[in-house]
Amino acid sequence: MPSLPPWPAWETPEIGASPFQTAQSGKGSTMQEMAVHLRQAYKEKETPSDVQAFLDKAEKEYSRNNIKSLHAATKNLDHAQKALRDAVNAKKEHRLQWTKHVSEGIKVLEAQLESYRVHQATLSEHASRAREEIETSRRILKEDASNENVVDSEEQKLRDQLQEVLNACAGPLGLQTTAAETQIQEVSDEDKEAPPHNKRPRSVEPAKPVSNARQ
């Protein structure tokens, strides 16, 4: 079964410090601060030659710093534009990969859901079959018990009928029969031809009266 692939960790690009800001920080040097203070001090006075030379040097330094700052700003602009393009493209790619990942995840979840439903249906079918087997077994047991009772009642009925017939047959002979002692005996032609000691009596005859010979 397919599994959901993990979402990879994406590296976040680092944004470096602006070269223009670095160049601008150089303007706060000690020379520039001194030049500002000297201009303010000699604003209404004639500036000495050595002070003027320092101011000229500071002005040139300031101009060079400005030119450097402009170059740095231009370079930083190109760098920032490239970083912007890379970030936009990376964002698009990241979104594209996420959309693809979600689509694959949906397919995997759909496949897993279908497998889950099939397995649940199979288990439900097995449970239904087991219930049917239980009901069938219970019904068979009830039918067997009912049939056994029917057989017992029929057998008892036949025994009762047989007992009644035997009683009817034994009544005229003055005999009594019980259910425990009742036996059916059949005498074949061979038994009739057998010696007397092997022949079983079929009935009991009353004893003949003894005649009084002396009379």
pLDDT in tens, 11-63: 666 655 555 454 444 544 676 777 776 777 776 667 777 777 777 777 777 77
d(CA 203, CA 136): 56
- Which tokens sit at 113? 């859901």
pLDDT at 148: 63
What average pLDDT does the segment 1-20 reach?
A: 64
- Average pLDDT, integer, range 89-105: 91
Quickly state the pLDDT bin for 121 (edges 50, 70, 90). Answer: very high
Domain ranges of the chain: 19-134
Q: Which of 4 and 103 is assigned the larger pLDDT?
A: 103
Is 117 or 208 the better-scoring residue by pLDDT?
117
Q: What average pLDDT score do residues 90-104 get? A: 91
